[in-house]
Chains A and B, each alone.
Chain A
Amino acid sequence: MNGATDYKIMIFCLVIAVLGTADFLIRPDSSYELDINKPAMVVGASQDNTLNTEALKNVKREFDKIESVEDRETIHKLFSGSASFLTTCKSLKGTYQFSPILGRVQSSYGWNREKYPKFTDAVSDYLVEVGYDEPKQLITTRERLDFAQIFIDLSKATTYAGKQ
C-alpha cells in the first residue's frame, strides 16, 4: 500500500470511527478492513467521567455553554471517534500526522475550527497542558495509547445528554 492510499484509508477509518456505525480490524500488515458487525467504540460513554485536571474541567464548562445540541454531538463524536481511531491505528508514525487527518474529517462534516472560540481556547489550553503541542513519535503501543488518552479525556469532557 502506498502512502497516499494509506492516508486516504486513515481518513476513511476516522470518518467511520466518528460516525460510530462500524469498527475496523487491522491486519498484521497494518491494512484495514471494516467489521460491520461490531459496534463502534464510543469511548466517552463507557469511561469513568472524572475530569482530573482544571484545564479539562474548563473544557467541560465551555462545552456546556454551547447551546446547539447538534454541535455538541458533532464535537463529542469528533473526539470519541478520534480516540477510537487512535487506539487501534498503527499507521501513524508521529503525532504531527493526526491533525491534518482530523482536519479533513472535520471538513467532510462541514465543521469549521474556531466556531466556538472560547471552547477552542479551553481545548487548546488542555492540549498544551498534556504536551500535545510537542511532536512525538508513535512507534510503541504505549506511545499510541498515551496519545489516544488525550482524546479519550476530551471525549469524557464533552459527553452530553443522551451520551452520559
Chain B
Amino acid sequence: MPGSNRPQGWIDDPDKVEAIMDTLPYPVFKDVWNPIKDTGKGKKILLYDIIRKVAGSFPMRTQTIGDCVAHGAAYAVDAVKAVDIYLNKDFETWVAETATEDIYAGSRVQIGRGQLGNGDGSIGAWAARYVNEYGALARGKYGNVDLSIYSGSRARSWGRANSGIPKTLVIHAKKHPILTVSQVRTYEECRDLLVNGYAVTIASNQGFSSTRDRDGFARPQGSWGHQMSILAVDDSFKRPGVLVQNSWGVWNNGPKRLNQPEGSFWVDADEIENRILNQGDSWAFSGYEGFQPQKLDTRII
C-alpha cells in the first residue's frame, strides 16, 4: 500500500477534538463564513508559490517519526506567515520555516496533558490549539535550545507524557501565536478560506496513490492515519480541487501542474470533502504574530 510503511501519526479521536472545540472562540468556521462566502468561486491561489517568493525556496519536510500532525500544522503556519508578509504587507520578516518539534510535543503534553502516553502520534485539534495558545517558532536557536535542524528524536523525547517543551522555549513561542483557528468541513469553506489568505491543515484516515495522473491529481487509495496541509486551491480548473502537501520528502511521482512542490498532489473537491474534511479534524489558521525585523546592518557601503 503506497506510503503505508512511512511514518504517519494522526490519531482519530472525535471526543478529544470536541473537547478542544469547547475551548475555542470560533470553533467552527461555518459560523463566521458569511463575509467571505463564495469569494473563492472560480478562483485559484497558490500558497506554496507565495511561500517560495517570501522564503526564497519551498521548505521540504521529511518526518522521521509519527509526528505528521506537527508537520501538517507547520506547513499551514508557513503559509500564514508568508501571506502576512507578501499579501498583507505586515511589518514582519521571514526568518525560517516553522519548527515542528515544539508543535508536536506541545500538542501532546501542554494541550493533551500526556493522555497519549509515550507512543508516537497526536491530534489535529491539539496542534491547532497549541499554535493558537502557545505559538509557533521559526527554526533557529533560542537560548540554549537549537531548533535549527529537524530532529525526530527530539520531538519524540519532548513529546513523552511527563516531558513537554522546555519552559524557556514557551516564553519565545508565546510571542508568535496563530491568531485564530477554526474547524473546516467542506470544500467550499476550504476554497474561500484559502483565497482569502488562510491556510488549512487536514487530518484523516485516507491514503492516496503515489502516482499522480496527467493533471497532477492522486487517486484516493489505502489508509493513512495522517495529517498534511492544503497549500493551494484551483476552482477555475476543469477539475476543481486542492493541492495537498505531504511531509515525506520526495515520495511520489507523475505529472505536475502549476509548478507544484515535490511531495505534493492535487485532490478533487468532492474527495477532499467526503474523505477528509468530513472526519472533523481539519483546521484553518489565520493571522500570525510574526517576527519583527531585527537591527539593520549599517555597514552598507
Contact = CB atoms under 8 A, between A and B. Distances in A.
Interface of A: 2-4, 75, 78-79, 93-96, 99, 102-103, 113-114, 119-120, 123-124, 127-128, 132-135, 137
Contacts of A124: 298-300
Interface of B: 53-54, 86, 89, 91, 93, 292-301
B75 to A, nearest CB: 20
Contacts of A135: 91, 292-296
Contact of B91 (A78, A94, A114): A94
Contacts of B299: 113-114, 120, 123-124
Nearest to B90: A93
B53 A99 contact: no
B296 A119 contact: no
A134 B296 contact: yes
Which 6 A-B pairs have CB atoms at the shortest separation, nearest pair first?
A96-B293, A127-B298, A135-B293, A124-B298, A133-B295, A133-B296
A132 B297 CA distance: 9
Contacts of A4: 53
Nearest to A112: B301
Q: Which of A75, A94, A132 has the most CB of B within 10 A?
A: A94
Nearest to B86: A3
A95 B301 contact: no
Given A94-B91, A134-B295, A99 B300 contact: yes
A137 B92 CA distance: 10
14 contacts: A2-B53, A3-B86, A79-B301, A93-B89, A96-B296, A99-B297, A103-B300, A124-B298, A124-B299, A124-B300, A133-B295, A133-B298, A135-B294, A135-B295
A137 B296 contact: no
A3 B53 contact: yes
A102 B300 CA distance: 8
B91 A128 contact: no
Nearest to A59: B301
Given A96-B93, A132-B298, 11 more contacts: A3-B53, A79-B301, A93-B91, A95-B296, A96-B293, A96-B296, A120-B301, A123-B298, A123-B299, A123-B300, A124-B298
Contacts of A95: 296
Nearest to A3: B86
Contacts of B93: 96
A95 B301 CA distance: 16
A127 B294 CA distance: 15
Given A93-B89, A137-B91, A127 B292 contact: no
Contacts of B86: 3
A132 B296 CA distance: 7
Nearest to B296: A133
A75 B301 CA distance: 8
A116 to B, nearest CB: 8
Contacts of A75: 301
A119 B298 contact: no
Contacts of B301: 75, 78-79, 113, 119-120, 123
B94 to A, nearest CB: 12
B91 A99 contact: no
A27 to B, nearest CB: 18
Given A4-B53, A75-B301, A123-B301, A99 B296 contact: yes
A43 to B, nearest CB: 16
